[in-house]
Amino acid sequence: MIIVQISDFHIIPDGALAYEVADTIDALKKTINYINSLSTPPDVVIVTGDIADRGRKESYRLAQEILSQLKSPFYMIPGNHDHKDNLAEVFSNHQYLHNRVHENGVDYICYSVDDFPVRIIGLDTSTPGAHGGGLGDKRLQWLDGKLAENTKRPTMVFTHHPPFASGFGHMDLEPFVSRKEFRQIIEKHPHVERVSCGHIHRAASMQFGNTIATTCPGVGMQIPIYLSPAAPSEFTLEPPGFLAHYLHNIWEDNPKIITHVGTVADHAEQYSEYPFFDFVSPS
């Protein structure tokens, strides 16, 4: 099974540039074209938040128009730039967006998808009005219960916010709330193959409990590798990226997930494949 993960589009109303420089609409179009051109198409695409930049319905309508071109089915979770109700209203055919966990006056979008060899859990870590993320008791209880329902199937948990510090100073100002409790639940369930997140606009990975937590590159823009507490809130216009999570048992007795990082070429039609040759180890 192949799961492609994309994240952090930051779509804004048509005709404008995000933060006055980033053509996030064009970046998303190129990304979808590229995914559709992959030699082995994904079984499913997961979008890990910040679909719109300011949660406007017109931004979601644009995102819907572009995402509808995907040849694979897709699922979404909201990020801190998203408006949950506007997202669910525009993507009205995505019924899972109405699966909510009510906690402290907020309805969080949380769901599981059991239609594939890998079980997919979407876990909402975004609280309206906050930049940082985390989980409360109700969502932690919901996650623990869902993971206990099926302990035989490899599972991936998708969130917007990562439960670890990135090393980018401006992104680490607000720690992930209840990350220790989150880690303890993941440790209870060894069938969780990956916790995969967005928010950081850069591919990164870190041990988390008895599994691996990863972050996905951004589509709309990337965050520069400025590993310092003094790192300012800035971005670069590097090409969009994505993650490809591949479940296989090529060298293993039991299926395992490997995660690859992909970069989107300027145009899908420029994507070509060339054969290696003379690949025998020199003697």
* Long-range contacts of the stretch 203-209 (C-beta < 8 A, 24+): 203/241, 203/243, 203/261, 204/162, 204/166, 205/259, 206/162, 206/164, 208/163, 208/164, 208/183, 209/183, 209/184
Tell me: pLDDT of 274 over 80: no
Tell me: pLDDT of 270 over 60: no
The pLDDT-based confidence of 279 (bands split at 50, 70, 90) is low
The pLDDT-based confidence of 280 (bands split at 50, 70, 90) is low
Instruction: Read off the pLDDT of residues 108-136 as tens digits, 9 standing for 90 and up.
Output: 999 999 999 999 999 999 999 999 999 99
The pLDDT-based confidence of 15 (bands split at 50, 70, 90) is confident
> Which domains are present in the chain?
2-270 (3.60.21.10)
Report pLDDT for 252.
84
Report pLDDT for 14.
81
Report pLDDT for 253.
85
Average pLDDT, the chain: 93
Taking Cα atoms as reference points, which of 74, 133, 67 lies closest to residue 106? 133
- Give the C-alpha separation, 217 to 283, whole Å: 40
